[in-house]
Amino acid sequence: MWSTGNWSLLYTQAFDALKPNAWLEVQEYDAWIYSDDDEKMEKAPWTVEWCQTMEKLSTDFGKTINVARFQKKWMEDAGFVDVRERIIKVGLRGQLQLGITKTH
């Protein structure tokens, strides 16, 4: 996160540096929290405020977060072909429950 303020330039430089038929793997996440059962996030106003604040601060800093949805296009614009995008939804509830330990 926050590694570059110019993803298009990064991918152009990566493309130019690679040998023909080489490939590049990228993993990027969206730093926004969504809900399947509350699409407008009405039950979580503080979460929405936190996400909006993080978005504003990162943009003000010059390195916007929440850019995962643009990665494929930036790679294609740089010259990459056969760009494959795999989107994986990660559930917070399940992740949080993994770390819970009960003591009696």
- pLDDT tens-place values along the chain, 104 residues long: 457 889 999 999 999 999 999 999 999 888 788 888 898 999 999 999 999 999 999 889 988 888 899 999 999 999 999 999 998 887 776 555 555 454 55
* pLDDT for 8: 94
The residue extents of the domains of the chain are 7-98
Give the pTM.
0.74
C-alpha 12/C-alpha 8 separation (Å) is 6
* pLDDT for 29: 82
Encode burial over 25-38: b for 16+ CB neighbours within 10 A, e otherwise: ebeeeebbeeeeee
* pLDDT for 31: 79
